[in-house]
Structure 1
Amino acid sequence: MKIATNNSNMSITIKCYPAKNGDCFLISFGENEEEKKHLLIDCGYVDTFQKYLNNDLIQIAKCGETLEKLILTHIDADHIQGTIRLLKDNNAERFITIKEVWHNTYRHLYEQKEGEIDIKQERMLQQIIRRGYTQNESKQGEKGISAEQGTTVGALLLQGKYSWNSDFDNQAVCIEKKSTVSLTSNASIYLLSPDKQKLEKLKNLWTDELKKYDFNFSSGNSQLYDDAFEMLLSWEKEKAKIAPKQISATAETLEELLKTPFHEDDTSTNGSSIAFVLQVQNKKMLFLADAHPSLIVHSLNEYQKEGTIVFDLIKVSHHGSFGNISRELLNKIDSESYLISTNGQKHGHPDKDTIAHIITRKADFHRKLYFNYITANSKYFDREDWKGKYNYSIHYLDQQPYTLIL
Structure 2
Amino acid sequence: MAKSLYIDKSKMNVSIKIYPAKNGDCFLVSFWEITTEKKHLLIDCGYVDTFQKYLKDDLIKIGESGGTLEKLILTHIDADHIQGAIRFLKDNNAEKFIAIKEVWHNTYRHLCVQKEGEIDIKQERILQQIIRRGNPQSESKQGEKGISAEQGTTVGALLLQGKYSWNSDFNNQAVCIEQRSEIELKPGTNIYLLSPDKQKLGKLKDLWTDELKRYGANFNSGNAQLYDDAFEMLLSWKIEKAKIAPKPISATKETLEELLKTPFDEDCTATNGSSIAFILQVQDKKILFLADAHPGLIVQSLNEYQNEGTIIFDLIKVSHHGSFGNISRELLHKIDSEKYLISTNGQKHGHPDKETIVHIITRKAGFHRKLYFNYITANSKYFDRKDWKEKYNYSIHYLDQQPYTLTL
CA deviation profile, 1:99-143 (whole Å, cap 9, x unmatched): 000000001011121113221111101121122222221232125
Count of aligned positions: 399
Alignment TM-score, normalising by the size of structure 1: 0.95
> In the aligned structure 1, how far is the partner of 2:311 from the partner of 2:238?
32
Candidates 140, 144, 148, aligned match of 2:148: 144
2:271 and 2:221 map into 1 onto residues whose CA distance is 19
Q: What is the aligned partner in structure 2 of residue 395 from structure 1?
A: 397
Distance 1:184 1:383, change over 3 A: same
- Is it true that 1:12 corresponds to 2:14 in the alignment? yes
Match of residue 45 from structure 2: 43
1:375-390 map, 5 Å: 375-390=377-392
Q: Tell me, what secondary structure is at the counterpart of 2:99?
A: coil
Q: CA offset at residue 220 of structure 1?
A: 3.5
2:5 is matched with: none
Structure-1 separation of matches of 2:403 and 2:74: 24
Separation in 2 of the partners of 1:239 and 1:399? 27
**CA offset at residue 405 of structure 1?**
5.0
Partner of 2:3: none
Paired residue secondary structure (1:68): strand
The answer on whether the counterparts of 1:247 and 1:351 sit within 8 Å (CA) in structure 2 is: no
**Partner letter of residue 312 of structure 1?**
D
In the other structure, the counterpart of 2:224 is 222
Q: Which residue of 1 aligns with 2:4?
A: none
Match of 1:3 in 2: none
Gaps of 5+ in 2: 1-7
- After superposition, give the CA deviation of every residue in 1:192-227 in whole Å (9 maximum; x if it has no partner): 000000000000000000110111232433311111
Name whichever of 396-405 and 134-143 sits farther off. Answer: 396-405
Question: Is residue 309–residue 334 contact of structure 2 (8 Å, CA) maintained in 1?
Answer: yes
Residue correspondence of structure 1 range 325-364 to structure 2 within 5 A: 325-364=327-366
Return the TM-score normalized by structure 2.
Answer: 0.95
Residue of structure 2 equivalent to 1:308: 310
**Contact in 1 for aligned 2:13/2:32 (Cα 8 Å):** yes
How many Å separate the matches in 2 of 1:219 and 1:242?
Answer: 34
**Aligned-partner residue type, residue 150 of structure 2:** S
**3-state SS of the aligned residue for 2:253?**
coil
* More displaced stretch, 245-254 vs 379-388: 245-254
Which residue in 1 is equivalent to 2:298?
296
Alpha-carbon spacing, 1:405–1:108, altered in 2? closer, same or farther (3 Å): closer
Paired residue for 1:108, among 91, 98, 110? 110
> Partners of 1:271 and 1:7 in 2: how far apart?
40
Shift of 1:278: 0.2
With over 3 angstroms needed to count, the CA separation of the structure-2 counterparts of 1:220 and 1:109, relative to structure 1, is farther
Q: Give secondary structure in 1 for the equivalent of 2:192.
A: strand
- Shifted more, 128-137 versus 318-327: the winner is 128-137
Q: Is this contact kept in 1: 2:76–2:106, CA < 8 A?
A: yes
SS of the counterpart of 1:248? Answer: helix
Give, in angstroms, the shift of residue 397 of structure 1.
1.2
Unaligned 5+ segments in structure 1 are 1-5
Shift of 1:14: 0.2
Deviates more, 1:245-254 or 1:191-200: 245-254
Q: CA offset at residue 246 of structure 1?
A: 3.7
SS across alignment from 1:249: helix
